[in-house]
């Protein structure tokens, strides 16, 4: 399986009910994406992704609850806790030209406007609707940058780079012991 053909859209948090539904922590802007899917792939640590057919989707406190054709019963659903939820890129709804998927940000090299490298994006976290880039700096330091229009000047996924203007003192906070 070519990893570039898949996008991580969430993680299985726990089973729900007795019939084998799974509760998903969504990594998408809208959990309603799951209503459009006919299939998903679940990947447990150190395993290859396995294909599942989505029978139904409903919501509990804004979390998608998925019924999968291959899962019957709470015990089978429990075994999937912690699995990454992936979908094929071709199954994604069409994006606007200026939209960038979180999965495409990981690995981008991050530069300041003067061309100095800050490092590369290792992870994107979303807390209370706020996107945070976790950047691995040149000396291995971890830099947390709020990904807001004020600080992110340019993203070029094809070129593998982003240009940012962090707020004064933020980078020094992480690079000066």
- The CA distance from 162 to 104, in Å, is 11
The DSSP code sequence of 61-82 is TTEEEEEETT--SHHHHHTTTT
End position of a domain, from candidates 68, 91, 114: 91
pLDDT of amino acid 95: 66
pTM, 2 dp: 0.66
- The CA distance from 32 to 163, in Å, is 31
Query: Locate tokens 């570039």: which residue?
Result: 4
pLDDT of amino acid 177: 65
Query: Locate tokens 């990454």: which residue?
Result: 84
Pairing relation of β-strands 161-164 and 109-111?
A: parallel
Tally the domains of the chain: 2
- H-type alpha helices, 5-162: 74-78, 102-105
How do the pLDDT tens digits run along the chain, 177 residues long?
555 688 888 899 999 999 999 999 888 777 788 998 999 999 998 899 999 999 999 998 888 999 999 999 999 999 999 999 999 988 877 766 667 777 788 889 999 999 999 999 998 887 777 889 999 998 889 999 999 999 999 999 889 999 999 999 998 888 876
CATH code for position 133: 2.30.30.240
Tell whether 96 is covered by a domain.
no
- Domain ranges, residue 141: 102-175
End position of a domain, from candidates 59, 91, 123: 91
């Amino acid at each position: 399986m070519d990893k570039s053909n898949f996008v991580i859209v969430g993680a299985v948090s726990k089973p729900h009910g007795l019939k084998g539904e799974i509760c998903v922590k969504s990594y998408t802007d809208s959990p309603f994406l799951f209503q459009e899917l006919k299939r998903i792939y679940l990947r447990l640590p150190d395993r290859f992704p396995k294909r599942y057919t989505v029978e139904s989707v409903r919501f509990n406190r804004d979390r998608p609850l998925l019924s999968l054709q291959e899962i019957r019963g709470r015990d089978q659903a429990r075994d999937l806790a912690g699995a990454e939820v992936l979908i094929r890129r071709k199954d994604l709804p069409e994006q606007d030209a200026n939209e960038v998927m979180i999965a495409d940000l990981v690995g981008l090299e991050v530069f300041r406007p003067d061309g100095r490298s800050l490092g590369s994006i290792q992870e994107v976290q979303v807390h209370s609707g706020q996107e945070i880039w976790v950047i691995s700096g040149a000396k291995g330091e971890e830099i947390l940058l709020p990904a807001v229009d004020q600080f992110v000047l340019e993203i070029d996924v094809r070129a593998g780079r982003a240009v940012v203007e962090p707020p004064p003192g933020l980078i020094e906070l992480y690079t000066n012991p």
